[in-house]
Amino acid sequence: MMTDVLTDLPAHYLSVADLTGAQFEALLDLADELKGERAARTAAGEPLARDTLAGRTVAMIFEKPSTRTRVSFQVAVSELGGHPLALSATELQLGRGETIGDTGAVLSRYVHGIVVRTFGQERIEELATAATVPVVNALTDLEHPCQALADLQTFREAHGGFAGRSLAYVGDGNNVAHSLMLAGALVGLDVRVGHPEGYAPDPEVVARAQALATDTGAEVVVTTDPVAAVTGADAVYADVWASMGQEDEADARLAVFAPYQVTAELLSHAADDAVFLHCLPAHRGEEVTAEVIDGPSSRVFDQAENRLHVQKALLARLLV
């Protein structure tokens, strides 16, 4: 069943909502399989590389700095037997005014897939329209769809499934919040977003997530009350208060977001077995206390690791 679902993937992965719920969960199943295989091979001292992407090159364009995204994608392509080609905007003619559409059209003549970490969603959509090879969204200002795959893999590892469960995101209604709402809606996981006034998620994304949720029975709720968002949740999620490109707002945001800091007291309103999630990098003492992120409920490094496994699963099916 999994193979049938995954042979019908869309041409590109630009948004979580490009997938069906069955495809999303099938990718998680494959990621679990690849994670187990990697652990077994590592323990046995065996080579990790497959030949799934043998003879294929994947270009990775980074218009924003990256640690986890760059390293996890580069390792993913390598372990699938392909050749990763990491490129910064300054290394391309993008830095001298070439359109991103032309860049996508040209790279399609050389490579077999393109991974892009950029700013506006319209940039990756323009590139994908011009490209003739699969394009993967490695982060835009609107969405972080690969992160959402890793987030829900980590959630499922902790709780076994999604039915009857809930995840609370507390903080800025940003790209991570958007992808979490869409992902939860697809798989039947309730998602509650608690945000300060003026920092709500994009209403169009909220409406889209709520529409998707009608098919799965999930609930997507947006509130300005952090306690209401967290109460009874099976996972509590935080992200930095000032994302890349918002550095000049950082000081102003500190006061606005202070009531939304994930502390032990806020976490106490969640379920007894709730886990703490964060896409990293984290600022201890700002969006989360060290007591929480370094405490027993934290799964942030499992979550970071899972970026590798879900991206291997995605590339293994999208590029073959």
Q: Catalytic annotation on 317?
A: no
- Whole-angstrom CA distances from 295 to 234, 267, 305 are 16, 11, 18
Q: Which amino acid is at 216?
A: T
In the set 56, 146, 147, 261, the catalytic residue is: 147
In the set 192, 307, 309, 317, the catalytic residue is: 307
Q: Catalytic annotation on 165?
A: no
Cβ 134 vs Cβ 319: under 8 Å: yes
Pair of tokens at residue 204: 């169009």
Tell me how far apart the alpha carbons of residues 161 and 248 are, in angstroms, rounded to a whole number: 40
In the set 239, 253, 309, 317, the catalytic residue is: 239
In the set 165, 192, 279, 303, the catalytic residue is: 279
In the set 112, 144, 156, 195, the catalytic residue is: 144
**Which contacts of 21-24 are long-range, i.e. CB under 8 A and separated by 24 or more positions?**
21/186, 21/187, 21/188, 21/215, 21/216, 24/149, 24/152, 24/183, 24/186, 24/187
Query: Which residues, other chains included, contact 121 with Cβ-Cβ below 8 Å and sequence gap of 6+?
Result: 14, 140, 141, 142, 143
Q: Catalytic annotation on 309?
A: no
Q: Catalytic annotation on 279?
A: yes
In the set 12, 56, 68, 117, the catalytic residue is: 117
Which residues are catalytic, by number?
117, 144, 147, 239, 279, 307
